[in-house]
Each structure stands twice: as C-alpha cells, then as structure tokens.
Structure 1
C-alpha cells in the first residue's frame, strides 16, 4: 500500500471517530436556541472574537433565582437579557451560553461572538453562566455533567481551543462569581488554571 492511500484511510478513520465522539456528546445535552427562548435581537451586529477558537472558557453565575424547567428557565433568561440590555445598556445578554436547572444549555451570544462578561477576556473567551446563585447552594449534578460535556464537545468540534484554559470569573475580576461552592467544584475539572489570570 502506498503512503497516500494509508494517509487517506487514516484521515477518514479519524474524522469518523471524532464525529462519533461529538455525536455521542451532543446526546448528553440540548442547546435551546435564542429563537426558542424568545431572545430579543441585539442592538448592534455581534462582534466576532478576536481570537478564535477561544483559548479561555470562563465560568460564572447569574446571581438570580434558580429555574427548574424549560418554561421557568426561558422566563428567567429573558429577564436576564432585559436587565443586561435595558438596565445596564449592553448590546445583548452578556454570556455566550447559560445552563439552567433543567439541564439544558441556553444559547446566549453563542460561539465566536464577543461577550460582555469579563473585561480583558471578552474578545478571547466564551462564558458559560450557571443560572442562579451558587454562593451557598450547590449546582445539581445534572448541570455539572451537562457543562462538562458541553465544554468537551466544544473543544472536539473546534469551537474552543483544544488546549483551552478553564477559569472562573473571580480569577480575572474583583468579584465572588461564580459563588464559593461552585468555584470549589470547578477547581477540580480538567483544564482548570489556578490563581489569577490576565
């Protein structure tokens, strides 16, 4: 067998294997699109990330009430978007994605779009926000598993860098986000970078 043929077979095999991994992961979560949760249009066209795929994944929380089903989570995320746009004056909801207590991933600004969550990192990260306040309340195991699988899928699909750095918002800004209890859990995850980040 010649080397070109072997290379072709290897590419086909790897592509099929990687595709299978991505498909298996997408079976573990559901992404609720902006259209599905009733998002308002952003005030201005979205700005693409300056660094893509994003080298940072930032975990935060919304410091709101919790939600437990698609109806209450949809209502909550619409309220968060209204607060960010109407009260704070941002272009759109701050985060790229959010996870509800129902175990669904909600599309915020989405992939490859600059957020409004962490100064100095908005142009080179995606932010995933746990909906609720996790200062004293733990996230559910379902939420944690969904976010882990979503991050893994994002890396395998090339949406974030394969060697991404996982940090919490408190490591980049003067804040307690994402809450002490959630922070202690995130610290144990793969790709977590301890200490302050710049």
Structure 2
C-alpha cells in the first residue's frame, strides 16, 4: 500500500511541476484573439524538437496593452495569409509587451517562420521593433516561461538550443529579431552561437544537422 501511495505521489509531483510554468503564463488562445481559420494544417513530423528560433515582428510596432496586442496579432495573421499567401500566421507563438503569450499555430502544427527550419524548430515572435531597444521585462519573462513550458510538456528536448532568425539564414538576409533582442537572448544559458554561413550544402547536410553538430560541441555533456 505504501509503495502504491509513493508511486502516486511521485506521479502527482511530476504532473504539478510540469504544469506550473505553463499555468503561470498569461496565455491567449486563437479563439480569444479572433484568429481566422487556417487554410491548411500540417502536423510537425516529430514531437520533441531541438530548437527555439526567436523573431521580432518589426512591423507592426510594439504593443503594451491587451487591445493593441490583439490587434497586432490579427494584423500579422492577415498579412501572412493574404499578402504572403501562407496557410496561417507563420509563428507558433507570439508575445506582447503586455506579458501575454498568443497562440499562433501552437505546439503541434508545422509553421512558416524560418526557411529550412520549420520541421525542427518552434518559432516565437516578440511583437515590435527591437533593432535598438530590447523587449521589456514582461515580454522577456513570458518568453522564458514559454520556453520552459515547452520543455516541461515534452514538446522540446531537454537539451534544447535557442537561436535567432538571423542565425538560421545566410549573413545579411535579415536583421530579425533585432540587436536589442539578440543582446539579451545571447546571454541566456541555452543560447547557441551557430550561424548559417550561406555556403552550399554538401551530400546529406542540412542546416539543422550543421546546427546540431555545432551546438552539441558548444554545449558538451557534463561529466
């Protein structure tokens, strides 16, 4: 009887711990922000991904209250669907400087945030232009909570890596997510300094395989 109780108690602690970070987030699902229907849905090929790719929207601009952030997310989806002709908003999640996390395509769907990385990385966009200033504390805390939530829920590998949009593409392709974001994110423990060189891939190489090899060397397993 004691053994059964102990197993149940340990299971309970695991569930509570896995939910705590996610429960702490202020999360806005698609219905709450008024998302348009996705034209087509494709599932991610695997459940546990190795990368987070951080973006900024640049335009539309920063938002600090619920009404403005909801409007910005709607604007981004409209542009992605009607100007770029994508199936849906390109990011998995978006974050406003009101400290809230907005559901884009969510954990289970393939997104369109970074060419060559969409099957292997979750794309998170901080709403606003951060080429000079950094995102505020509310946005950064929400980002950290979301990152931890993905790991706790098993959507992201425990030995995950954080990189930025500009690192996934050839040098000079984009400024995203802005120097202000990079200045902060580059100091986080799981940030990897990999940079797509733009060189032609050889044989079975992919940008993901190159990045994983680089990041694994930058973060050797602890003894």
TM-score, length basis structure 2: 0.81
Question: Displacement of 1:66 after TM fit?
Answer: 0.8
Partner SS, residue 56 of structure 1 = strand
CA distance in 2, matches of 1:192, 1:106: 23
1:52 counterpart (47, 64, 78)? 47
Q: In the TM superposition, what are the counterparts of 1:71-82 in structure 2 within 5 Å?
A: 71-82=67-78
TM-score, length basis structure 1: 0.90
Structure 1 residue runs of 4 or more that deviate by more than 6 Å after TM superposition: none
Residues 95 and 109, structure 1, Cα contact 8 Å, conserved in 2: yes
Greater RCO structure (CA 8 Å; 6+ sep): 1
Partner of 1:177: 176
Does residue 26 in structure 1 map to residue 38 in structure 2?
no
CA distance in 2, matches of 1:114, 1:165: 18
Q: In the TM superposition, what are the counterparts of 1:1-198 in structure 2 within 5 Å?
A: 11-44=7-40, 46-64=41-59, 65-173=61-169, 174-196=173-195, 198=207
Residues 137 and 181, structure 1, Cα contact 8 Å, conserved in 2: yes
Write the deviation string for residues 154-186 of structure 1: whole angstroms up to 9, x where unpaired. Answer: 101112122211111111112111100111111
Write the deviation string for residues 125-147 of structure 1: whole angstroms up to 9, x where unpaired. Answer: 11110000110121111111111
Residues 18 and 156, structure 1, Cα contact 8 Å, conserved in 2: no
Residues 134 and 183, structure 2, Cα contact 8 Å, conserved in 1: no
Residues 57 and 126, structure 2, Cα contact 8 Å, conserved in 1: yes
CA distance in 2, matches of 1:104, 1:40: 19
Relative distance call for 1:50 and 1:13 in structure 2 (3 A) is same
CA distance in 2, matches of 1:49, 1:17: 29
Partner SS, residue 143 of structure 1 = helix
Partner SS, residue 123 of structure 1 = coil
In terms of mean alpha carbon deviation, does 19-28 or 174-183 score higher? 19-28
Structure 2 unaligned residues grouped into runs of 5+: 197-206, 208-223
Structure 1 unaligned residues grouped into runs of 5+: none
Partner SS, residue 161 of structure 2 = strand
CA distance in 2, matches of 1:13, 1:162: 23
Residues 167 and 192, structure 1, Cα contact 8 Å, conserved in 2: yes
Partner SS, residue 60 of structure 1 = strand
In the alignment of these two chains, the number of paired residues is: 193
